[in-house]
A and B are shown apart, each in its own frame.
Chain A
Amino acid sequence: MDLASFDSGLLQATIARALGRGGDFAEVYVEDRESLGLRLEDGRIEQTSGGREVGAAVRLLSGERTYYAFSDALDEAGLTAAADAVAAAVRAGDGGSAVVELGAVRSELGRHPVRVPPDTVAISRKAALVRAGDEAARAAGAEIVQATVGYGDTRQRVLIANSLGELVFDDRTRTRFTAQVVARRGDIIQTGHETVGGSAGFELVDEATACAVAGSAAEKARIMLDSRPAPVGAMPVVMANGFGGTLFHEACGHGLEADAISKGASIYAGKMGKIVAAANVSAYDDGSLTNGWGSQAFDDEGVPTQKTLVIDQGRLTGYLYDRLRARQMGAAPTGNGRRQSFRHVPIPRMTTTYIAPGDADAADIIAATPRGFYAKSLAGGQVEPASGSFVFGVAEGYLIEGGRLTTPLRGATLIGNGIDILMKIDMIAGDFDVKTGVCGKDGQGVPVGTGQATLRIAEMTVGGTG
């Protein structure tokens, strides 16, 4: 099957059928996704798995209501059944909008260049990378007792047609390499994690990269063997570049997603144009970042991705919209309507979200901190957008004493409240970096990038056991 030459007459007919009893917007989302994953653990590649899933979803909007049906059958019968399911659910006579004839297919292939398509590379070469990663991790010392090394690539082709007459084709390739390493000394067990990924092809990971990623994970685990339990209490916190971006993702990003805003379930609701961060803080969500793990040419509603300024020198300037919320709130979509697959309703999601770099020097920030906590690598976090309360675990942390990093600290959690923390950012360095992750929301996981330079929060609560 070739999505690029899919029968547009069938798409047109499905849209008309979905709108048959009522509703004011209909859309068909057709997806063809091929995935491959290799996983090495205990020194052997124990799982090689992959496959191809095709399916289609029909979405009907009527005012604020959404009706959604999907099926893994890509034929006329499957699309008809899905269209009938949404048409049966809508209140008859609601809405009513003319269906615009589908235009020519729009696409921006090559927007995120893929130099070496993963499906042109033998699986054995991917296996060799994973084995090289394992060797690099184990070479870090006898205390390394376990390494889990993974390689994955996906090619997702989507065709999105709607009653506005828009027809978009997108072809997305993503490649990722991950390592989790366990170190043990006596009864002490510590782990380290590192990853690289992008909207790019096999060129992203060569043997040197694989070894660097696995080596870095091993080093983190080994360092943490010497760690002491983290202290408890409020103190200055320096967040390292890269992984530290999870802070902004949790503390602020989720609260800027327009579904939380439209329900008043975000501390950022009603604060457009107001000060929500310190004056040195500017921040973006950028779904168009070239080859970014969270990037694609179009979002999953066929809207081109873009770079959105969300905070401008402390002032709130933008929310992240999908079509539905943009319509509800009288704004323009920002290319943030994303879905995990055809089995999921699109919702506002971040892409690559980051705090813009400043002009301080990372070393100077640490030197300017007599006593504090240095969070080098975060383990992941969670937020309640309604209250702004967030928490995240620190995978690799250090005590700052006399302006120097001293003891590694384990078991630390950082806890705080979005705006409160953003207002307390008092120093930002220029060493900007982006890390990759998978963000979960409403049961949907999507690839996201989080980034920042090294920065300091004047005071934050650290929860530990020491």
Chain B
Amino acid sequence: MFDIVDSVLERALALGVREVEVYAERSTSRRIKVFGQEVEQLTAAQRRGVGVRVFADGAVGHAYGSDLSDAGLDEIVRRAADHAAVSDADEFAALPEPGGEPADVHPFDERLAATTDAQRIELALALESAALAADPRIKTVEDAMYVDGDGEVFIASSAGVRGSYRANQCYAFAYVLAEQDGQVETGYSYAVGRALEDLDAEACGREAAERACRLLGATKCPSMKAPVVLDPFVAAAFFGVLSSALTADAVQKGRSLFAGREGHQVAGELLQLDDDGTLPDGLDSAPFDGEGTPCRRTPLIGGGVLQGFLYDTYTARKAGRGSTGNGLRGSYSGLPGVQPTNLVVSGPVTPLADIVAGIDHGVLVTDAVGVHSGANPISGEFSVGIAGVLIEGGRLTRPVHEVTLAGDIISMLTNIRALGDDARWVPGGSILTPSVVIDGMAIGGT
């Protein structure tokens, strides 16, 4: 598609636009859902399009389109120029300069590209069977799904940025309902990888079933202030919300609770949090970001101390520093924005069994609803609905549900006192995290 990218550059320059960046994408994907050991849905997708960003003396205009004919490309360029004319100028807004060698990342696996629909269907069927077979109380497997994607991106600009890469990934997802005595509980699990062979459908289906069944018989528990253990799925949801406050965009716009706290203790001393766009097994790893800047590892929190923020070209210029390669695009129709690549939570770990044994009274949280709506990344306050298992006298005792967990992000981070030995990748943000133990959380029940 470099021919199209170059053609758009030429059209823009011919129109008198001096600073222009063209981003093009073509991709295919497959999504297979099975139900009752039959294929319920198969989706085959093809996508391609172009996005154009124009800078006119610091004013930004963006336009996109999927019509790649001469007339279509002309229209995209014209719209981008029109849009720049109404945006306000900003001294820090300008075309990204070439940022050096792309990261040595190869997010493409030939094995996945060679996968057939028959293999995909077989995996989804195995996932559903495993979930159903795991426990007689599994009433239905509402979602047994396999998804993969294969995309190629191209970028070029009048400043000399030029690059392309191809990436693919796949995941399986199971969401099940368990029923006992008229009570229904739900559970889910994911498996992620870069080849079908990486996905353990059996384990994924079984885990979803176990997560639902362990909640059967759940009741509300009394309100209390107690330690909680957030399992990796729940911890990932919290770190996902938190990460938006670790972008320079949020800091510069007064929307981050971490503003002005660089070099300060913001979390328990054992916590290390990094953004790393170069990890071989990270789903969001890439040679460069949506502006052509090489991806890298950026420490965010080390030893509990806030070490820095994530930057794209614009926020980096404003801060008088370089981009961290976090100007990401969702698709050709979107503008680059500051976002994490892969988030990695690490630090000294403790076996999960020892963690539970050390808690006299607390909750193992295995599900949280409303993290994205109930957590305010600006004020840092959150209040979410949770379900899980009560910990009493160092042992997991009875399940609880329909209770709330509330607090604020900074106190929560500060009160992190242990990390489990169960780190795993959670998609939907690409986060690698173990279970996280937090002291003194407010649990609202009866």
Contacts and interface: CB of A to CB of B under 8 A. Distances in A.
Contact of A343 (B45, B369, B401): B45
27 contacts: A42-B253, A47-B62, A51-B63, A54-B66, A55-B66, A64-B38, A65-B42, A66-B41, A67-B41, A67-B42, A69-B43, A70-B44, A123-B83, A189-B380, A232-B406, A264-B140, A264-B177, A265-B177, A267-B184, A343-B47, A380-B370, A386-B184, A386-B186, A387-B186, A391-B373, A392-B373, A410-B379
Nearest to A260: B142
B62 A411 contact: no
Contacts of A436: none
Contacts, number: 244
Interface of A: 1, 38, 41-42, 44-55, 64-73, 81-82, 85-86, 89, 123-124, 126-127, 145-146, 182, 184, 188-191, 230, 232-234, 263-265, 267, 343, 345, 379-384, 386-387, 389-393, 410-413, 415-417, 461-465
A69 B186 CA distance: 31
Contact of A234 (B64, B93, B254, B446): B446
Contacts of B383: 230, 393, 411-413, 463-465
B442 interface: yes
Given A50-B83, A54-B67, A72-B46, A413 B404 contact: yes
Contacts of B76: 51
A81 to B, nearest CB: 7
Interface in B20-79: 35, 38-49, 51, 60-67, 72, 75-76, 79
Interface of B: 35, 38-49, 51, 60-67, 72, 75-76, 79, 82-88, 90, 93, 117, 139-140, 142, 177, 183-186, 220, 223, 252-255, 257, 333, 335, 369-370, 372-376, 378-385, 401-408, 442, 444-446
B140 A265 contact: yes
Nearest to A378: B373
Contacts of A45: 86-88
A380 B375 CA distance: 10
Given A47-B335, A465-B407, A189 B378 contact: yes
Interface of B is mostly: strand
Nearest first, the 7 closest Cβ-Cβ pairs linking A and B are A463-B404, A391-B385, A380-B373, A413-B383, A51-B64, A44-B88, A463-B444
A464 B444 CA distance: 7
Contact of B378 (A67, A182, A263): A182
Contacts of B42: 65-68, 86, 89
B65 A233 contact: no
A186 to B, nearest CB: 13
A383 B40 CA distance: 24
Interface centre among B60, B88, B93, B374 (most CB of A within 10 A): B374
B107 to A, nearest CB: 21
A146 to B, nearest CB: 5
A70 B62 contact: no
Given A65-B39, A382-B373, A190 B404 contact: no
A48 B84 CA distance: 7
A253 B139 CA distance: 23
B52 to A, nearest CB: 9
A47 B60 contact: yes
A345 to B, nearest CB: 6
B335 A49 contact: yes
